[in-house]
């Protein structure tokens, strides 16, 4: 029996930094990561004390490129799962802009993204 790998996007967002990880749920291993802490990303941003949606989009683009290099941009046929409601709830954000910027950048990079939101997203506007 073949075990299908399930990849999940995990976000760590503070006022100062943004980190996005794709985790293999079968073994808990991080398979790709991108963060505004990295010098190569940090030097291209203009967010001295706070990171905005532009920085989040850059993190998403870099993560998308790294997933492609690893051959995981399609999540081995299933895609990269994201639960926006859970990420928002976990972080306590009222504004989903940074989260959606990362998700949209991943999609624009050609990464297959599967939204796992189970509710109607009554807490805010859902972006395409």
Tens digit of each residue's pLDDT (9 = 90 or more) over 22-45: 999 888 899 999 999 998 888 887
Q: Reply yes or no on whether the pLDDT at 1 is more than 50.
A: no
Rounded to whole angstroms, how far apart are CA atoms 123 and 110?
28
Mean pLDDT of the chain: 80
- The helix (H) or strand (E) run that includes residue 10 is strand 7-13
Specify the pLDDT at position 75.
Answer: 60
Radius of gyration of the chain (CA): 14
Specify the pLDDT at position 101.
Answer: 93
Contact 12, 18 (CB under 8 A): yes
Q: Where are the chain's structural domains?
A: 7-115
pLDDT more than 90, % of the chain: 33
Rounded to whole angstroms, how far apart are CA atoms 13 and 94?
13
| pLDDT bracket for residue 13 (50, 70, 90) | confident
Q: Reply yes or no on whether the pLDDT at 49 is more than 60.
A: no
In terms of average pLDDT, the best of 50-59, 89-98, 118-127 is 50-59
Specify the pLDDT at position 124.
Answer: 40
Residue with tokens 């506007």: 125
Residue with tokens 């972006």: 127
Q: Which CATH architecture is the domain 7-115 placed in?
A: 2-Layer Sandwich (3.30)
Rounded to whole angstroms, how far apart are CA atoms 17 and 59?
10
Q: What is the pLDDT of residues 75-122, one digit of tens each?
A: 665 788 888 888 777 666 666 888 899 999 999 999 999 888 754 443
């Amino acid at each position: 029996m073949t075990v299908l790998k399930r990849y999940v996007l995990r976000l760590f967002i503070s006022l100062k930094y943004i980190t996005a990880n794709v985790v293999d749920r079968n073994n808990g291993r991080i398979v790709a990561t991108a963060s505004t802490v990295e010098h190569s990303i940090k030097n291209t941003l203009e967010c001295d004390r706070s990171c905005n949606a532009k920085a989040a989009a850059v993190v998403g683009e870099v993560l998308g490129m790294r997933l492609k290099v690893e051959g995981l941009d399609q999540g081995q046929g299933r895609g990269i799962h994201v639960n926006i409601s859970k990420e928002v709830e976990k972080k306590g954000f009222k504004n989903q802009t940074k989260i959606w910027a990362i998700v949209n950048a991943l999609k624009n990079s050609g990464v297959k993204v599967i939204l796992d939101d189970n509710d109607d997203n009554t807490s805010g506007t859902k972006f395409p």
